Amino acid sequence: MAIDMHTLVDRARGLVSRRIMADEEIYRLELERIFNRCWLFLAHESQLAKPGQFVTTWMGDEPVIVTRDSHGQVHAMINSCRHRGNSVCRAEAGRTSSFMCTYHGWTYGLDGQLVGVPGYEERYHGDLDRRQWGLIPVSQVASYKGLIFGTFDPQAPPLEEYLGDARWALDYILDQRSGGTEVVGGVFKWLINSNWKLSADNVMGDNYHGAITHRSATTVGHQTLSRIERRNNGRGDDLPAGPGVRPGFSAPLGWGHGFMCDLQPPGDHSFMEHPEPLRSYYRETLPELERRLGPMRARVKKINLTLFPHASFTTSSNMLHVWHPRGPTQTEVWLYVIVDKDAPDEVKQLLRQSAQRHFSPSGMFEQDDMDNWELSTQAAGRTISRNYPLHYGMGLGHEGWEDDGVVSRQINAINDESNQRAFYYGWDDFISSGNWDALRRKRAAWESGQPVAEGAALGG
Amino acid sequence: MVDVQLQHEVEQFLYQEAEILDHRRFQEWLDLFTEDAHYWMPIRSTRARGDEANEFTREDENSYFDDDKPMLARRVAKFDTGFSWAEDPPSRTRHMVTNVRIRNGAGTNEIAVVCNFIVYRSRMATDEDLWIGEREDLLRKVDGQWRIARRKIFLDQTVLRSKNLSSFL
Ligand code: FES
Ligand SMILES: [Fe+2]
């Protein structure tokens, strides 16, 4: 059945078709227009500290190897032998000098070049241009403050342009200290039977669900360790917004990026009332943070950011979730813990432990998200339910837009679904735009506050 | 050879624990741990031959569980809040404990015990999980009763094929 893409996101009413959460045809389109075009998170540089180190990951439905070669250069290429297609690497991570295919032995260097072909003279008679038969490269690879990204689209804009205003939040995560960041050893990986977008939109904008979904964790006094205040008997995190309770702002950006930021009133440092040694660490590093990032970010309690399409950062416990789609109704979640490289070991241990207890598969918070997303995904595939759109309209038309120069445009509260709407507007822009010029126009229009009216009304 | 009586005692202790978990008597389960208990489950990753040393994360790296007794108690308290959605309706688990080997310390009040486990979880109508692996316990005699002082859980899966780990292994 042909699907009219213009009926999937209804901007006038803030509605999103359920079909995009379960439909096979739309998923194929997402792979082509989103995952094969956008800059995707590949790895943290600290995972590739030494020459010859590699990790494997996913870019959409393509398995990718990310390496550091002997000159220190980072490469990314598809993990599929050019002879018959077999994988050339079966480990998740390791260290090597080359990748030999286990089928006939074609061998590739750390840069993906074909460096060895058994029987090159006797069987191929030297008649094989090895330069043409290297592993399929990821078209562009670039780093932003320790994070390595790649895109399959040679036309994609430079990484910094792609990230745009999301860098304000990213810098808070990656650039508080001159030594930069590293990831803690070990990446959590687990499978959930839900659509990848439900998780991505949740982290960037859903401060509505915490009071219900995560009520059991907050009830027993479980809390995260990052720069969060400990008011409300330690229940400071994820409570519903109210005037004066949560000063902060939402930044629903173009191209589907967005973040929400909780701020402390100027001069109020109660957000550093954490267990030692974290408290001392935060106190001692605050001047450095302020020097590097300015007074506004010295007031940040917490930022939740999703980089479109599928990398979600939560600064409480310093986490990065990557929501790898494994089909329209399955997601492979990868969770990294990012810490300041120069932090004392005890601080790194506290943050690592906090992330595990909070948002790993066993996490006191994370456990309770999964059924919600799985059951929502199941309903999205059903014959009657799928014709009834999802409501993303909270606060639509009541946004307190403001411009204080932090990002292009922001909303002076965190109490609506603006960020999630921005995510689906971005999604719609990528799905419906054939080239980057059109995408640039749409982003500029959105960020200047004059979005082009796109998308027809949904359902009745 | 390990003392038959001790072997029997340890096996019965582990079977009892399995029953307590499967019957959701979690407060009782907590009592099986010493006050200084450590409950730890590393992440496993697929590694090439020769790189086995890096297959499991180390204790100072990420792990599915890295809990002391107060943290285990908080997990248990969570079940009873009335809002613990991952366990409401509750999981139906079945813990099978086999291949029990007593490693050392017979005759002292601490022994290392290794066993294999299969934990099956059924939840709601059709959710199913199968967690299989090896457990390494340090058991200590406290007031004449065996107690778990350390538990290390080594799962056979690398990518966890479960939406969450809201059950104990
Ligand atoms: S498939 Fe790789 S060498 Fe033949
Ligand atoms: Fe959540």
Q: Is the pLDDT of residue A415 over 90?
A: no
Element (H, E) at A15: strand A15-16
Sign of the CA dihedral running A56, B165, B57, A179: positive
- Contact (CB, 8 A) for A74 and A112: no
Q: Tell which of A322, A338, A367, A376 to mutate to test the B interface (max B CBs under 10 Å).
A: A367
Torsion of CA B97, B47, A344, A43, to 10 degrees: -120
Residue span of the structural domain in which B56 resides? 4-155
Residue B42 in any domain: the answer is yes
pLDDT tier for residue A225 given thresholds of 50, 70 and 90: low
CB distance A323 to A331 below 8 Å? yes
Residue identifier of the C-alpha nearest atom 3 of ligand 1: A104
pLDDT value for A2: 61
Q: What is the pLDDT of residue A246?
A: 52
Determine if residue A271 is left, alpha or beta; phi over 0 gives left, psi from -120 to 50 gives alpha, anything else beta. Answer: alpha
Report the atom number in ligand 1 closest to the C-alpha of A105.
3
- The encoded tokens of residue A87 equal 């994988």
* Residue B63 within a domain: yes
Q: Which has more confidence, A335 or A264?
A: A335
The closest of A317, A326, A319 to A305, measured between CA atoms, is: A319
Does residue A309 have a cis peptide bond before it, meaning omega lies within 30 degrees of 0?
Answer: yes
Which pLDDT score is estimated for A408?
85
Query: Could you tell me if residue B161 is inside a domain?
Result: no
DSSP string, B23-76: TT-HHHHHHTEEEEEEEEEE-B----TT-GGGSB--TTS-EEEEEEHHHHHHHH
Tell me, yes or no, whether B65 lies in a domain.
yes
Rg (CA), chain A: 23
Q: Is B32 exposed, middle or buried (0-12, 13-18, 19+ CB in 10 A)?
A: middle
Given this model, what pLDDT does residue A414 score?
A: 86
User: How close, in Å, is residue A61 to chain B by CA atoms?
Assistant: 16
> Can you state the percent helix, strand and coil of chain B, rounding each to 5?
25, 45, 30
Q: What is the pLDDT of residue B29?
A: 98
pLDDT at B116 over 50: yes
CATH number at residue B132: 3.10.450.50
Indicate the range of A116-125, A245-254, A362-371, B118-127 predicted with least confidence. A245-254
Assign A368 to helix, strand or coil: helix
Find the CB nearest B81 among A95, A219, A353: A219
Nearest CA in chain B to A349: B60
Structural domains counted in chain B: 1
Q: Which of A265, A267, A268, A284 is nearest to A276 (CA)?
A: A284
Residue B167 included in any domain: no
Quickly list H helices, A328-392: 345-359, 367-380
* Ligand 1 probe mutation, A80, A82, A84, most atoms within 8 A of CB: A84
**What are B's interface residues with A at a Cβ cutoff of 8 A?**
41-43, 45-48, 51, 54, 57-58, 60-67, 71, 74-75, 77-79, 81-87, 158-166
Q: Does residue B27 sit within a domain? A: yes
Confidence (pLDDT) at A237: 41
CA atoms within 13 A on the CB side of A394: 15
Distance of CA B86 to the CA centre of its chain: 19
The amino acid at B99: N
Query: Does some domain include residue B82?
Result: yes
For residue B72, the chain A residues in CB contact (below 8 A) are none
Q: In a mutagenesis test of the A interface, which of B55, B62, B151 is the best target, namely the one with the most A β-carbons within 10 Å?
A: B62
CB contact under 8 A, B42 and A186: yes
B132, B117 Cβ separation under 8 angstroms: yes
Query: Which domains can be identified in chain A, with CATH numbers?
Result: 40-144 (2.102.10.10), 166-447 (3.90.380.10)
In a domain, B35, yes or no: yes
Ligand 1 atom closest to the Cα of residue A84 is: 1
Burial A230-251 (b: 16+ CB within 10 A, else e): beeeebbbbeebeeeebbbbbb
In this complex, do A95 and B51 lie within 8 Å of one another by their Cβ atoms? yes
Which residues between 52 and 81 in chain A have a beta carbon less than 8 angstroms from any beta carbon of chain B?
none
Query: CA A79 to CA A86: how far, in whole Å?
Result: 8
Statement: residue A214 has pLDDT above 50: yes
Give pLDDT, residue B167. Answer: 97
> Among all residues of A, which ones are annotated catalytic?
104, 206, 209, 214, 369
Contact B159 A332 (CB under 8 A): yes
> Which of A79, A83, A135 is the best mutation target for the ligand 1 pocket, counting ligand atoms within 8 Å of the beta carbon and taking the most?
A83
Q: Are A189 and B47 inside 8 Å of each other by CB?
A: no
Residue of A228, A425, A190, A420 whose CA lies nearest to A321: A190
Give the ipTM: 0.97
Higher pLDDT, A182 or A238: A182
Mean pLDDT of chain A: 91
Peptide bond into A325 cis (omega under 30): no
* Alpha carbons A184 and A47: distance in angstroms, whole number: 9
Q: Which of A82, A182, A179, A92 has the alpha carbon at shortest distance from A134?
A: A82
pLDDT the model gives residue A257: 98
Cα A355 to Cα A341: distance, rounded to the nearest angstrom: 17
pTM of the model: 0.95
Average pLDDT over residues B57-76: 97
Read off the pLDDT of each residue in A32-54 and give the average, rounded to a whole number.
98
Residues of chain B in contact with residue A187, where contact means CB-CB under 8 angstroms, are: 43, 45, 62
Residues 127-166 of A with CB under 8 A from B: none
Alpha-carbon span A430 to A419, nearest angstrom = 17
Number of inter-chain CB pairs under 8 A, A vs B: 133
Locus of tokens 């070990």: A186
Would you call A185 and B164 a contact, using CB atoms and an 8 Å cutoff? no
- How distant is the Cα of B51 from the closest Cα of chain A, in angstroms? 7
- Residue A264: helix, strand or coil by DSSP? coil
User: If you measure CA to CA, which chain B residue comes closest to A354?
Assistant: B66
